[in-house]
Amino acid sequence: MWPKTDDQAKLLDLAEIISAEISKTAAEHDRANSFPHSHFELMKTSGYLKSAVPKTYGGPGYGLTDLTLAQYAIASGDGSTALGVGMHHMAVGTEAIAQKWPEHLREKLFESVLTNGSLLNNIASEPELGSPRGGGRPATTLIPDGDGKWLLNGRKTWSTLAPKLTYAITFAAVEDGSNDTARIAQRMDMDGISITETWDSMSMRATGSHDIVFENVKVNADDFIQRANPKSPSNDGIDGAAWFPLLLSAANLGVASAACDYAIDFAKNRQPTGAPAPISKIPHVREQVARMESLRRLSKNTLLTSAEDWEFNPEDRPDLLPQISMTKLSSIDSAIQITDLAIRIVGGAALEKSRPLERYFRDVRSGLFNPPIEGRALEQIAASVLDGEN
């Protein structure tokens, strides 16, 4: 069972404190479709934002399993906040493992996280492109402006944390005749950057995933993280590949765990007028609670076991990739099933906006559309079984 180490216990304690505090205003931000700035200030002042910065750069050096456990706890307080800060941890944690950025940028951004509580996220999706995981050249462009300078123009969608980001790791086409694409570390306080508040989703409404618009933003050559070309694609490796799907899964399962707790408490305390006992004594309710609790425990164990497998067996990561996809798919399916069962247990009252269950029900469905999406994940799993060597 987790936590297994003193460091995990320390981080989990902090996450549970944060979770309890942010739960107080989660419903308010969901209703208003507003960004929870106070949640991120709390995570900044408490030091939670620097959790994934490696010890070699002065950080606490928490690993994938530590943060998966912590994110599960954060999400029980507010799924939107957990999803958003998970994107930040993913950007930092992936680079901590992969070490693919130029050293000067790695030092600069990690120091900014440590000293200033800066927030990072990868910004790539576009209105026409969708997710770059499907291939295609971005419409966002970098145009030479002389003496090693560039001008950045374009629009990015699904830009989680947009109202609070310090650095947007931005995917763009390099328009210098090379046919390259690039990722740049773009500071969000530069002239020419604006946020268009387009985010009005059914799920995870407080993530601030608005459009970011770049208009002739000045970029220096030192801001380039990476350039790649279809004829000579970059080799990013797979060491950081588990961070996004597992932290995403933690956010959704943490929301489902909150739904589970709410339904159990309701069943124990709901006693209709004239009934001889609370509804927790009804056989059908007890059966539904048992199904719900079984899903909660099994899905959490699977999630954390997958994180441990990945973190502590680096030589096996190529063979573990399908397992990561399996974990993401099963985590989201379990989160949806748990919230469905919770609503069935509570009954019609669960649909009331004054109760959190309908928010939990909506929030966990967002995971269906985060990568790896079902079709690609299933193909990866099928290929590992059908096309690999016997």
Rounded Cα gap, residues 122 and 169, in angstroms:
5
- What would the mean pLDDT of 257-276 be, rounded to a whole number? 96
Does 348 score more than 60 pLDDT?
yes
CB atoms within 10 A of CB 28: 11
Residue pair 68/304 in contact (Cβ under 8 Å)? The answer is yes
Map 49-88 to HEC letters. Answer: HHCCCCHHHCCCCCCHHHHHHHHHHHHHHCHHHHHHHHHH
Higher pLDDT, 196 or 147: 196
Which residues are paired to 193 by β-bridges? Answer: 214
Of the listed ranges 194-208, 231-245, 252-266, 341-355, the least confidently predicted one is 231-245
- Over range 154-158, report the average pLDDT: 97
Q: Is 17 helix (H, G, I), strand (E, B) or coil?
A: helix
State residue 168's pLDDT score.
98
pLDDT of 1: 87
Bridge partners of 220, per DSSP, are 149
- The type of residue at 388 is G
Kindly tell me if the per-residue pLDDT of 133 is higher than 60. Answer: yes
CA 262 to chain centre: 23
Record the pTM.
0.95
- The answer on pLDDT for 389 being more than 60 is no
The position carrying tokens 């790896």 is 372
- Identify any residues that bridge with 247 across adjacent strands, giving them in sequence order: none
| SS3 (DSSP) at 181 | strand
Cα(72)–Cα(78) distance, integer angstroms? 10
Q: How many CB atoms lie within 10 A of CB 3?
A: 17
Which amino acid is located at 145 in the chain? D
d(CA 224, CA 211) in angstroms, rounded, equals 22
Identify the three-state secondary structure at position 121: strand
Q: For residue 198, which amino acid is it?
A: T
User: For residue 233, what pLDDT band results from cuts at 50, 70 and 90?
Assistant: low
> In which band, very low, low, confident or very high, does the pLDDT at 46 lie, cut at 50, 70 and 90?
very high
Please list the residues that pair with 183 across neighbouring strands. Answer: 171, 226
Amino acid at the residue 294:
S
Closest to 367 measured CA to CA, from 340, 341, 330, 338: 330
Q: Which residue has the tokens 């739904």?
A: 259
203 within 8 A of 50, measured Cβ to Cβ: no
Taking the alpha carbons at both ends of the chain, their separation in whole angstroms is 34
- Dist. CA 366–CA 249, nearest whole Å: 11
pLDDT of residue 388: 75
Give all domains of the chain, ordered by start, each with its CATH number: 6-119 (1.10.540.10), 123-228 (2.40.110.10), 243-386 (1.20.140.10)
- At 235 the pLDDT is 65
- The residue-averaged pLDDT of 8-30 equals 98
How far out from the chain centre does Cα 14 lie?
19
Contact 129, 136 (CB under 8 A): yes
d(CA 19, CA 295): 22
Q: Which pLDDT score is estimated for 234?
A: 63
3-state secondary structure of 191: coil
**How far is Cα 337 from Cα 291, in angstroms, rounded to an integer?**
9
Cβ contacts of 364 within 8 Å, gap of 6 or more: 79, 203, 252, 255, 256, 259, 332, 335, 336, 338, 339
* pLDDT, average across residues 234-259: 92
Q: Which residues contact 243 (CB under 8 A, 6 or more apart)?
A: 64, 89, 90, 93, 94, 97
Q: Count the helices and strands in the chain (H runs, E runs).
A: 10, 8
- When pLDDT is averaged across residues 361-368 and rounded to a whole number, the result is 97
pLDDT surpassing 50 at residue 390: no
| pLDDT tens, residue by residue, 58-71 | 999 999 999 999 99
Confidence check: pLDDT of 371 > 90? no
Residue in this structure with the two tokens 């939107």, named with its chain if needed: 80
Return the sign of the alpha-carbon dihedral for residues 9, 10, 14, 15.
negative
